[in-house]
Amino acid sequence: MHVQRPFFMALIVTIFGFCQLSAIIWSQSSLKPTPLHTLAQSAKESLLPNGIEVQIGDLHERVVALRDDVLRISMWKGDFAPEDASWAVLASARHGSAPVTLSESEGHFGFRTSALIVELDKETLEVIVRDQAGAILQQDARPVRLDGDAFRIYKSMPLDEHYFGLGDKAGPLDRRNQAFTLWNTDAYRFQESTDPLYKSIPYFMTYRAGRALGVLLDNTWRTSFDFGKESATAYSFGAPGGPINYYVFYGPSPKQVVQTYAWLTGTPPLPPLWSFGFQQSRYSYMTQARVLEVAKRLRADRIPADAIYLDIDFQDQNRPFSVNRTAFPDLPGMVKQLKADNFHVVSITDPHIANLSGHSYLPFDSGIAGNHFVKNPDGSVYTGRVWPGPSVFPDFTRQQTRAWWGSLYRDLRRDGVEGFWNDMNEPSIFDSPTATMPENVVHRIDEPGFASRPASHAEIHAIYGLENSRATFDGLRAIDPEIRPFVLTRATYAGGQRYAATWTGDNSSSWNHLRLTTPMLENLGLSGFAFSGADVGGYAGTPTPELLTKWMEVGAFQPIYRDHSEKGKGDQEPWVGGPEREAVPRHFIETR
């Protein structure tokens, strides 16, 4: 049966879109500050249509207004500014321009917009941002710390300021007194203290005295954020490489900050209506008969579920875009039967392609023919072990590779599968000491708006899941332009909401993980992912009947409502625990 459309579903998405954010640290105590005042006797100012650029020696800092309430701040050494390209920030936003009124005092260069006042110190390049009433919104606590390609930016941290964002980091909603690393990681059985997790969303919101401010560090390297661990008076963020390029945008309300973040990085597509319904999954429903059995029970027990998931065991030896014909002898017939009973099927498609030369495995053969896989430094194809065994990995930084990947969905769409689940896309590697690709693996950027060039995995790691989900979304749109794709991704970067929904990964069946769920989803909502969820009942472990029942209640009021569990653990469908307990999740699913 189809899910209803009560107005509170829109309210749920709105609430999770306007909650809070989190922030991250990677302490770089070895970095020594460059004493800017010794680089030159005087600073040189260049006037720009929407801001200023100041040079001291070979160090440049540029501050421009993209809108009256949005600043872009960048810094570099040498004669040439970094490439003006971004995987996260839309070109329409990056090229925005607001009129400014320039100003200069004895110690500062600066300008005003209709909303903000900006000052740059002539000796240190420290930046102060104020509102039009003169109240300080953000202030550098010390000069930017530079050490080769590495940098760290320090901002003053008032005692009454609070910090939210950074996606689905575990722990309290307020990130004050915490430190985080952004490096997409397969964090099976993560706990409250686990860091990093699956996503890299280098954006946070500050809130103080009724004024909210957003900060987005657009840097795809291993970034880190510290909100009071290193210093009680300063928060900081930085990276070991990549550009010093960040955006500061003013509310003053949190809602306005979230809206501006969406202006910068894009909004989610309208999802299909069925994806708001209850979704039943596990790793794995091992046979076609079992899938149909679960669906039949859901209908017999009058539980209005809308989706059933197929995890990796529906595939032939875990090989993406294949089907285990022994366990699933008639996948199209099964999907058709489920569709007739108003179920929508979501199948997994991991990014690792089995390395199977000479086995007539189309994804491998066509990928090799099209030169679509990432390389080792010596030019050979990189191979890592994942679920199918030795595997190769699409180079999603190439537009040609994304188009090829998208075309692989044609057969599953022909068979009637309607949703697709991009898992393991940090990417997770089983036989690597770092659990992911080596940082010297080579990607080949071939993307409109970027210079065509090789790039190390150290630079690309954070966007691998983002571009994987982009390839899936765009491919589905190309195959069926009239449908609304449903793509679920585990790893992503800022702006990934343009292509996929997400969930919090491999949580555990514990009361603590139930408690962690709400602040994690709130921070995801503040970070662009209003459509997100956490595995109901917990993925790792078997919940007690009491825990499963309570999680079913809470999950009904979260944007994505998916019951999912791992292989080898107890069942956790809504009827587990008997008829009396089953009545509770049925009531809450019906209420939703």
The structure tokens listed for 323 are 């089907």
- Burial group, residue 411, by CB count within 10 angstroms (0-12, 13-18, 19+): middle
**Could you tell me if residue 577 is left (phi over 0), alpha (psi between -120 and 50 degrees) or otherwise beta?**
left
Dihedral sign, CA of 281, 285, 289, 294? negative
Sheet with 150-156: strands ordered across: 145-147, 150-156, 234-239, 223-226, 179-182
Q: What is the DSSP string of 536-570?
A: BT-SBS---HHHHHHHHHHHTTSSBEEE---TTS-
- Burial group, residue 359, by CB count within 10 angstroms (0-12, 13-18, 19+): exposed
The structure tokens listed for 71 are 């600043």
- For residue 3, give the DSSP letter: P
Q: Which residues of 125-139 are buried (b: 16+ CB within 10 A; e: fewer)?
A: bbbbbbbeeeeebbb
Name the helix (H) or strand (E) containing 77: strand 70-77
Residues with Cβ within 8 Å of 92's Cβ and at least 6 positions away in sequence, in order, are none
Report the relative pairing of strands 486-489 and 501-503 from DSSP bridges. Answer: parallel
C-alpha–C-alpha distance, residues 418 and 306, integer Å: 12
C-beta of residue 353 within 8 angstroms of C-beta of residue 318? no
The structure tokens listed for 577 are 């625990």
The residue type of 149 is: D
7 backbone dihedrals φ, ψ, rounded to 5°: -60, -25
Query: 69, 119, 140, 506: which one is catalytic?
Result: 506
C-alpha–C-alpha distance, residues 461 and 492, integer Å: 10
C-alpha–C-alpha distance, residues 365 and 360, integer Å: 7
C-alpha–C-alpha distance, residues 540 and 216, integer Å: 33
Residues with Cβ within 8 Å of 424's Cβ and at least 6 positions away in sequence, in order, are 186, 350, 351, 352, 386, 387, 490
Dihedral sign, CA of 468, 472, 478, 479? positive
Cα 116 to the center of its chain, rounded Å = 30
Query: 161, 311, 423, 566: which one is catalytic?
Result: 423
Number of H helices, E strands in the chain: 13, 31
Active site residue 423: yes
413 backbone dihedrals φ, ψ, rounded to 5°: -65, -40
Query: 426, 535, 566, 582: which one is catalytic?
Result: 426
Active site residue 571: no
Report the relative pairing of strands 419-422 and 389-392 from DSSP bridges. Answer: unpaired
The structure tokens listed for 30 are 């070895």
- For residue 363, give the DSSP letter: H
The catalytic residue positions are 423, 426, 506
